């Protein structure tokens, strides 16, 4: 191959390279333009979609608010209807009671104690009187704390006395006026003063401990007496008898006394008859045990404290359970 042919080939190659490069550049520009156009389209569509989602969110919020308002409205209406139903039920019961009263029906006597139950009730009342004298858990814990505090004070006093004794020993054996002697003077002065304070404190604590121990002993004896008393078991038997009487009264459509009706109504609701009966048994047992004779208040006035208050609260809780 001569030099001219080589030069021609080189020129052709350069021309081809130039052409390819220009075509690649053109394609690159075309692709870039296309990509930019696609990017703009995607961006526009994303904005549109976001706007639509915002609109959907706003609609959902509106719907939720409307639903909450509607729910409140429905609940209000339901409460209203429940109140009206309760009033109507009460009025029906009152009319029923009046009618029965006019027909000569006498309310069933749940307070009275039949002769066959007299011994049982006396046992229960006696057991309850013993239980009324028992300390409650808080009182027992307080007495135990008194005893522990006294023991702790005794321990502290013993330690302080021991330190004072050590200082006294140093005073007895160290050279008078020396450094160790003067330190012992300071130590003894401080410990002796603390000892006097603790002794006074301990005297009061011992009195409280003696009283607490006496009360705990008495309480233990009372607990023993309560456990041994036949009345503790008799309460269950009496509850069974009261339950039978209430069942009979409901089955026979007897008229219940006013104190019973005010808290339990004339008849149990079908859905919670068992709960109603247990609450009724508790109310009647409370009245019999504590000899409550109030004609309107089922449990009489609230007691001031002691185990009777615990029983009172338990019965009230059972009655509240019926309203829920």
Partner 1 sequence: MGATRDRLLARQAELRVRHDALGGLGAEPPHDPALLAQVFAGTDELMTVVEELAAATARRRVVVALALLGVAAAGAVLVAFGVLPAYWLLAVLALLVTAVLLWLTTRAAPSRAGP
What minimum distance in Å lies between the beta carbon of 134 and partner 1? 38
What minimum distance in Å lies between the beta carbon of 156 and partner 1? 14
Instruction: List alpha helices for 103-136, DSSP H.
Output: 115-132
What minimum distance in Å lies between the beta carbon of 153 and partner 1? 16
Whose Cβ is closer to partner 1: residue 128's or residue 191's? Answer: 191
Calculate the dihedral angle through the C-alpha atoms of 52, 57, 62, 67, rounding to the nearest 10 degrees: 130
What minimum distance in Å lies between the beta carbon of 160 and partner 1? 12
Terminal CA-CA length for the chain: 113
Place of tokens 């296309």: 34
Whose Cβ is closer to partner 1: residue 129's or residue 192's? Answer: 192
Whose Cβ is closer to partner 1: residue 92's or residue 173's? Answer: 173
Q: At 310, which helix (H) or strand (E)?
A: helix 306-323
Distance (Å, whole) CA 225 – CA 128: 11
What minimum distance in Å lies between the beta carbon of 185 and partner 1? 6
Whose Cβ is closer to partner 1: residue 203's or residue 269's? Answer: 203
Whose Cβ is closer to partner 1: residue 171's or residue 322's? Answer: 171
Whose Cβ is closer to partner 1: residue 171's or residue 216's? Answer: 171
Whose Cβ is closer to partner 1: residue 88's or residue 158's? Answer: 158
Distance (Å, whole) CA 77 – CA 71: 10
| Phi, psi (rounded to 5 degrees) for 176 | -60, 130
What minimum distance in Å lies between the beta carbon of 152 and partner 1? 17
Nearest to 125 by CA among 302, 297, 292: 292
The answer to whether 215 and 157 are in contact (CB under 8 A) is: no
What minimum distance in Å lies between the beta carbon of 234 and partner 1? 52
Distance (Å, whole) CA 29 – CA 42: 20
What minimum distance in Å lies between the beta carbon of 192 and partner 1? 5
Residues interacting with partner 1, by CB under 8 A? 158, 161-162, 164-165, 167-169, 171-173, 176, 185, 188-189, 192-193, 195-196
Distance (Å, whole) CA 173 – CA 196: 24
Whose Cβ is closer to partner 1: residue 185's or residue 225's? Answer: 185
The answer to whether 264 and 318 are in contact (CB under 8 A) is: no
Structure tokens at 213: 């121990």
10 Å CB burial of residue 92 (0-12, 13-18, 19+) is exposed
């Amino acid at each position: 191959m001569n030099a001219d042919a080589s030069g021609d080939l080189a020129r052709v190659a350069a021309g081809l390279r130039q052409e390819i490069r220009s075509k690649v550049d053109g394609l690159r520009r075309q692709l870039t333009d296309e990509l930019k156009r696609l990017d703009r389209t995607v961006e526009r569509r994303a904005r549109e979609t976001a706007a639509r989602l915002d609109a959907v969110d706003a609609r959902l919020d509106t719907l939720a608010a409307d639903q909450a308002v509607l729910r409140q409205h429905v609940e209000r209406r339901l409460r209203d209807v429940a109140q009206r139903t309760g009033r109507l039920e009460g009025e029906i019961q009152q009319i029923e009671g009046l009618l029965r009263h006019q027909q000569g029906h006498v309310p069933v006597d749940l307070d009275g104690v039949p002769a066959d139950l007299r011994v049982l009730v006396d046992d229960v009342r006696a057991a309850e009187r013993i239980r009324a004298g028992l300390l409650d858990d808080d009182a027992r814990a307080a007495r135990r704390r008194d005893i522990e505090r006294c023991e702790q004070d005794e321990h502290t006093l013993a330690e302080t006395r021991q330190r004072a004794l050590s200082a006294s020993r140093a005073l007895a054996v160290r050279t008078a006026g020396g450094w160790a002697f003067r330190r012992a003077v300071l130590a003894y002065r401080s410990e002796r003063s603390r000892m006097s304070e603790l002794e006074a404190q301990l005297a009061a604590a011992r009195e409280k401990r003696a009283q607490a121990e006496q009360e705990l002993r008495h309480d233990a004896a009372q607990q023993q007496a309560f456990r041994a008393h036949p009345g503790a078991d008799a309460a269950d038997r009496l509850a069974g008898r009261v339950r039978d009487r209430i069942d009979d009264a409901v089955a026979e459509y007897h008229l219940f006394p006013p104190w019973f009706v005010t808290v339990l109504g004339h008849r149990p609701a079908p859905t919670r008859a068992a709960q109603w009966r247990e609450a009724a048994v508790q109310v009647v047992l409370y009245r019999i045990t504590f000899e409550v004779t109030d004609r309107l208040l089922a449990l009489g006035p609230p007691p001031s404290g002691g185990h009777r208050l615990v029983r009172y609260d338990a019965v009230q809780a059972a009655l509240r359970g019926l309203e829920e």
